[in-house]
Amino acid sequence: MNSIHFATSLATQDRWGVLVAAYLFLGGLGAALIALSLFSHRYFQAGRAITLWGILSGEAFLGFGSALLLVDLLHPIRVWEILLPWNVLILPWSWIAWGTQFIIWAMVFGLLYAWPLLLDEPWFRKLPVAGPWLGRWFDLPLIRLIGDWATRLRTPIAWVAILNGVGTAVYTGLLLRSFPAAALWANDLVPPLFTVSAFSTALAYQLLVLYAVLRQHGTMARWYERLDLILIAVEIVLIFSILFVILPGSLSGQASLSILWHSWGWIVGFLGIGLILPFVMESKGTFMGWQRSAPVILTACMVLLGGFLLRHYFLASGVYVFPWANAGHDGVLGAGIYHVLTSH
Amino acid sequence: MTKYAMLINLDTCVGCNACMAACAMENQTPVWNPAKFRTYVYDEEIEVGDKILRQFFPKLCNHCDNPPCVSVCPTGATWKEANGIVRVNPEICMGCQACAMACPYDARYGADRQDISHGEAYYGKDFLKRTVPSIDKCDFCYERLQEGLQPACVETCVAHSRIFGDLDNPDDLVTKVVATGKAQGLLAELGTGPNVYYMHKIPEDLL
């Protein structure tokens, strides 16, 4: 008889921390904001102000999120390797390679779409100090020419940005999906979950801007609220599907569940404040309406908090099952849990 | 065509850690950090029924047939050679650590700037092999293989626990043992196709 006895130890990862969680959150939020803003402006007559808020905020979130990832790299200067567009042709199997291109082109074409809107927006010209300078710059022939060109080609420009925005949102989930060792990540429902969450947070952000900044409570706001309610409902279905799919499965999945169900941040922060409560609040808002803006603003903030916590806890709760014991030399969860497997 | 593999006999490993030392000196790993070894020997106590079995478990990169580390790398810094060895080019690695996240064997670590400066003092600036931060892992001592030598861990193993071979050579001892089915790769259920095989015969009196 041939018996091979492997011990087992469980370990969480400490390589990707809060910076990467923030990158995944801001990347999904920013890309979804660009896609949502362009689609709303192009096909649902969204106003110039909310469109510019969405696009420019999306650009800022994508830029800041990418900067956080850059800080986390061992050798940041090497990032130029993946900025080159043909990198995806050389490495078409790498989701980070695709994701980088999605981010770049969503940002470039998002800005291009916003260009003529920016030139016509009087707010920028009225800014103290910078306003006159911006006005002169906006009136330069080349800047105007780009604006005219972007206006003529606005439909293809919008679709390139939208597709790359959606691609970025999907990529943030596919990235985790490509790590096979942790059952929580290697789950086909993770990319849809992260995509839905990205668009839900983008809708919440736009609601926040509409209610708190622009004070526009019109048709667009009501549609955004309804759509967000649907996405939160889908997110609830997806999150519980993932949890129940991995429940009867591997040791890795069960260990992840154990971590999640022992984390107040996950239970109260994400499930409670970031998911269930917004669903209840937006249901009330959609079916019965609110007399004031405060509940909508509060709900939007809770959705945004939930979006970050989802990614943070997903990253922190992926569990590796190593076929050796005492893996405690490099940060281990449950070292000393021995599980004997016997093969014959 | 050559397909390199390693066979590890868990029965004969005495846990002297000479393989770790040889590997560290050969490849100048950051020995000052216990989490940063290319190969590591775990001291295990396994419960078998009402008995406790002590064994030493050497771990290294499994040079998988289907390496998840290669498919996630966005720069092409990690790749698989035709001879089966999975390698890292530190000159183009940006250190995103996605490969380390994807590896089910915890076989990769990040060598950061602090490790480089420590390395200058420890190994000597003039002899330093690693000069840029990057991910690092076992490459079966690729440079030694080019010179016709065995990997440092194999050559130094006092108990002949580590046997290096070519799975495409039917006369190779590793090929013969693997063909018997008595040796087993780790976490094969993940579909990675590991090329480090472990064999172990539990003493009859423990069963």
pLDDT tens digits for B22-59? Answer: 999 999 999 988 889 999 999 887 777 787 878 899 99
Domain ranges in chain B are: 4-206
Beta bridge partners of B8: B162, B198
Residue type, B185: G
Q: What is the 3-state secondary structure of B6-66?
A: EEEECCCCCCCCHHHHHHHHHHCCCCCCCCCCCCEEEEEEEEECCEEEEEEEEECCCCCCC
In a domain, A342, yes or no: no
| CA distance to A11, A21, A49, A98, A121, per residue, from A314 (Å) | 14, 9, 35, 22, 41
Query: Tell me: the pLDDT tens digits for A39-93?
Result: 999 999 889 999 999 999 999 999 999 999 999 999 999 998 899 999 999 999 9
A329/B34 CB distance under 8 A = yes
Q: Average pLDDT of A141-153?
A: 93
Predicted confidence at residue A192, as pLDDT, reads: 97
In a domain, A121, yes or no: yes
- Which of A3 and A339 is assigned the larger pLDDT? A3
CA B120 – CA A84 distance, rounded (Å): 33
With H, G, I as helix, E, B as strand and everything else as coil, classify residue B79. strand
Collect all residues of chain A within an 8 Å Cβ-Cβ radius of residue B44. 7, 324-326
In a domain, A139, yes or no: yes
* B contact test, residue of A1, A5, A16, A250 with most B CBs within 10 A: A5
A338/B181 CB distance under 8 A = no
Q: Assign a CATH topology to domain B4-206.
A: Alpha-Beta Plaits (3.30.70)
> Which CATH number goes with the domain that contains A173?
1.20.1630.10
Query: Where residue B201 falls among pLDDT bands split at 50, 70, 90?
Result: low
With H, G, I as helix, E, B as strand and everything else as coil, classify residue B162. strand
CB atoms within 10 A of CB A337: 15
| CA distance to A34, A37, A41, A59, A202, per residue, from A114 (Å) | 10, 10, 10, 11, 17
Query: Tell me: the pLDDT tens digits for B160-196?
Result: 999 999 999 999 999 998 988 888 999 988 999 999 9
Written as six digits, the tokens of A161 are: 């940005």
**Does the structure show a pLDDT above 60 at A236?**
yes
With H, G, I as helix, E, B as strand and everything else as coil, classify residue A85. coil
Query: Tell me: the pLDDT tens digits for B57-69?
Result: 999 999 999 999 9
CB atoms within 10 A of CB A58: 31
Pairing of strands B78-80, B86-88: antiparallel
CA B30 – CA B18 distance, rounded (Å): 16
Collect all residues of chain A within an 8 Å Cβ-Cβ radius of residue B46. 5, 7, 325, 338, 340
Q: Which segment of A192-196, A328-332, B64-68 scores lowest on mean pLDDT?
A: A328-332
A75/B94 CB distance under 8 A = yes
Tell me the percentage of chain A whose pLDDT exceeds 70: 93
Q: How many domains does chain A have?
A: 1
* A contact test, residue of B46, B53, B198, B205 with most A CBs within 10 A: B46
In a domain, A118, yes or no: yes
Written as six digits, the tokens of A98 are: 């695709």
Residue type, B174: V
| CA distance to A172, A241, A339, B196, per residue, from A237 (Å) | 19, 6, 33, 41
Cβ atoms B134, A74 nearer than 8 A? yes
Collect all residues of chain B within an 8 Å Cβ-Cβ radius of residue A181. 68, 102-104, 187, 190
**Does the structure show a pLDDT above 60 at B202?**
no
In a domain, A255, yes or no: yes
Query: Tell me: the pLDDT tens digits for B114-146?
Result: 999 999 999 998 888 889 999 999 999 999 999
> The pTM is what?
0.91
Domain limits for position A179: 9-330
Query: Where residue A186 falls among pLDDT bands split at 50, 70, 90?
Result: very high
- What lies within 8 Å, CB to CB, of A170 at 6+ separation is A191, A194, A195
